[in-house]
Amino acid sequence: MVFQLDNRLWFPKTSLADDDGLLAVCGDLSTERLLLAYKNGIFPWYNQGEAIRWYSPHQRFVLLPNEIKISKSMQQVLRSLKFNLTYNTEFKKVITLCANTKRNQQNDTWIIPDMQAAYLNLHAQGYAHSVEVWYNGVLVGGLYGVIIGKVFIGESMFSLVNNASKIALIWVCKNLTINLIDCQMHTKHLETMGAKMISRDEYMRYF
């Protein structure tokens, strides 16, 4: 059953989400509603021109920082020290590049202007964070997400050169005091790095 939200700050029980995780539509992208959503295992995902859609999948694709798998070739890349990393220095550039970087089998981006504005507000209030990967002074990769307690909810990442987003993810695992990374969407390359599916109930125990 899909619920329709109004101006009140609430969400239905996540157990009522459809098989694909769709729980509710409408509402807004205020900081208060976004934080309430994340604390209850819910996130927004929709395209330009659509009503806001709120999802709470029954299975969550996550990565435990202490279980990350770093291939031998990636270890060589990290040892080469040819990339520099920064934290929270270029959030707006990172979210813009995440929105504009083309991906395989994806024509549009869900990081539409309203979403960008909402996460810039979250960043200004200390909830949304970015990792930047630089090569020869040029921003070539990175990621951004929201931290709730000790959970990093990854929103998006981008790479303009090979391995840049992977390096950013490894940095998050090694440098932030977190117990779980919510990868949200399943990808093969994240699975090779150790990400796995867990139940929503297990996921919520990390909050």
0.85 exceeded by the pTM? Answer: yes
DSSP state of 52: P
DSSP state of 83: -
| Same domain for 41 and 12 | yes
| Same domain for 45 and 78 | no
Q: Which of 57, 72, 87 is the last residue of a domain?
A: 57
| Same domain for 155 and 186 | yes
Give the H/E segment covering residue 136.
Answer: none
| Same domain for 39 and 14 | yes
Check which CATH number belongs to the domain holding 52 and give it.
3.30.70.3550
Give DSSP secondary structure letters for 154-202: EEEEEESSTTHHHHHHHHHHHHS--SEEE--S--HHHHHTT-EEEEHHH
DSSP state of 103: B
| Same domain for 70 and 41 | no
Could you give the number of structural domains in the chain?
A: 2
Q: Note whether 195 and 63 are within 8 A (CB).
A: yes
Task: Look up residue 38 and give its two tokens.
Answer: 């994340």
| Same domain for 48 and 71 | no
| Same domain for 52 and 138 | no
| Same domain for 74 and 50 | no
Boundaries of domain holding 99? 61-204
| Same domain for 66 and 34 | no
pLDDT in tens, the chain (207 residues): 899 999 999 999 999 999 999 999 999 999 999 999 999 999 999 999 999 999 999 999 999 999 999 999 999 999 998 999 999 999 999 999 999 987 655 556 789 999 999 999 999 999 999 999 999 999 999 999 999 999 999 999 999 999 999 999 999 999 999 999 999 889 998 999 999 999 999 999 999
| Same domain for 102 and 186 | yes
| Same domain for 66 and 41 | no
Helices and strands (H and E) in the chain: how many: 7, 11
Check which CATH number belongs to the domain holding 95 and give it.
3.40.630.70
| Same domain for 132 and 158 | yes
At residue 13's C-alpha, the angle toward residues 118 and 53, to 5°, is 35
